[in-house]
């Protein structure tokens, strides 16, 4: 069953926690891809310096100010689309960034998409990627799922992009600082499923190749 509006219309940290283990589904031109959410980050309100709502309302962050249960997709580093789900009531700008999935349906399509574009570089990733690498990281997962700016403002109660409720298997969740950002790192608003190989890496600053 599809997650309903009431699921998203709650405190963002609760939504973030409850998203782990649910299944993100995207239908594009009849091609269906899906994966179990294993890592997310919460971005909450204008007082959160890392939230896109921090500067106040702009054209770009408008979806954050709208009703819950919509997608907020934006382009980052000129290369990657990142997908969020809008939470809390209208006028309370907050969202959860989907950072990693464990692929479930459409794995062959995902591998093809990853091998294709490789924004920027001339190298060709996607060859010989393990399943758990296909959607590891927010930029990687949108590429594998075929999620683009066209999905911005998409209603998550529609047929195109939504989250399917899973009869949740018990998972141990770990909370920690959000990664890849310069401010707001003191807020432990990243959640992920412990030990899952599809969970993405560590802060770019300090860490090495990792994983």
Spatial distance between the Cα atoms of 201 and 88, rounded to a whole number of angstroms? 28
Total chain residues near DNA (CB under 7 A):
44
Q: Smallest distance, Å, CB 96 to DNA?
A: 8
What is the rounded (10 degree) CA torsion for 100, 2, 7, 140?
10
CB of 169 to DNA, least distance (A): 25
Cα separations in angstroms, 70 against 21, 94, 113: 19, 11, 24
CB nearer to DNA: give 124 or 168.
Answer: 124
Work out whether 146 is an interface residue with DNA (CB under 7 A).
no
Pick one of 89, 119, 188, 195: the residue that binds DNA (CB under 7 A): 119
Beta bridge partners of 99: none
Cβ-based nearer residue to DNA, 84 or 196: 84
Query: Residue 20's closest CA among 191, 207, 196, 195?
Result: 191
Q: Which chain residues interact with DNA by CB under 7 A?
A: 41, 43, 50-52, 55, 58-61, 72, 75-80, 82, 84, 95, 97, 119-121, 123, 125, 136-141, 178-182, 200-201, 204, 206-209
């Amino acid at each position: 069953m599809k997650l309903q509006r009431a699921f998203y219309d709650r405190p963002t940290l609760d939504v973030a926690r409850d998203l782990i283990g649910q299944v993100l589904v995207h239908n594009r031109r009849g091609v269906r891809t899906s994966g179990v959410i294993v890592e997310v980050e919460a971005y909450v309100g204008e007082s959160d310096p890392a939230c896109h709502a921090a500067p106040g309302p702009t054209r770009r962050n408008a979806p954050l100010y709208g009703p819950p249960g919509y997608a907020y997709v934006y382009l980052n580093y000129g290369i990657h689309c990142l997908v969020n789900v809008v939470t809390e009531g209208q006028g309370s700008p907050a969202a959860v960034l989907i950072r990693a999935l464990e692929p479930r349906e459409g794995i062959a399509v995902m591998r093809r998409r990853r091998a294709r574009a490789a924004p920027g570089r001339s190298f060709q990733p996607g060859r010989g990627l393990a399943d758990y690498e296909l959607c590891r990281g927010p930029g990687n997962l949108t590429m594998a799922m075929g999620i683009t700016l066209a999905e911005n403002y998409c209603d998550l109660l529609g047929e195109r992009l939504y989250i399917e409720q899973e009869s949740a298997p018990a998972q141990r969740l770990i909370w920690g600082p959000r990664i890849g950002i310069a401010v707001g790192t003191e807020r432990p608003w990243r959640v992920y499923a412990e030990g899952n190989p599809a969970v993405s890496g560590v802060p770019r600053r300090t860490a090495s190749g990792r994983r």
